[in-house]
Amino acid sequence: MDKLNLEGTEDTPTIVLDSENNHFEISGRSLPEDSAEFYQPVLDWLNIYAANPNPQTHFTFKMDYFNTASSKLLLDVLSKLEDLNGDGHDVKVLWFYQEDDPDMEDAGEEYQDLIEVPFELKTFSV
């Protein structure tokens, strides 16, 4: 299927959804004017992917910052991964946060509580 490749800007994240290379990642900053509109292509892509997923889907989140409007849409993305996992597929969320960023660490822990999917919290340094 076609890749979804969006380059990050000052208010939108970098998005790579590439089933051919088994690369699934959202990273950077997310505070778009209309978060529902911005994330719709991501949700659409995941709906199509769910019909015929790879044997393994490891999805990376490496966020620098996201606003509350985006937090709802990120939960929608995670819910899609939860569904995929519920259908018996090998799914894992890799949630990266910067070592000195307790807010992104907390956000990861909160999503981990809300979503039933294998979830790993990892640090990264810049």
Site of interaction with other proteins (CB under 8 A) = 10-11, 31, 33, 65, 67-69, 71-72, 75, 98, 100-103, 110, 113-114
Instruction: List the structure tokens of 24.
Output: 């699934």
Min dist CB 68 to other proteins, Å, is: 4
Min dist CB 105 to other proteins, Å, is: 11
Residue 12 or 19: the one with the smaller Cβ distance to other proteins is 12
Residue 20 or 34: the one with the smaller Cβ distance to other proteins is 34
Q: What is the DSSP track for 63-86?
A: EEEE-HHHHHHHHHHHHHHHHHHH
Q: How many CB atoms lie within 10 A of CB 52?
A: 8
Q: List residues bridging with 6 in a β-sheet.
A: 15
Nearest alpha-carbon partner for 80 in 54, 109, 42, 121: 42
Residue 17 or 74: the one with the smaller Cβ distance to other proteins is 74
Min dist CB 5 to other proteins, Å, is: 23
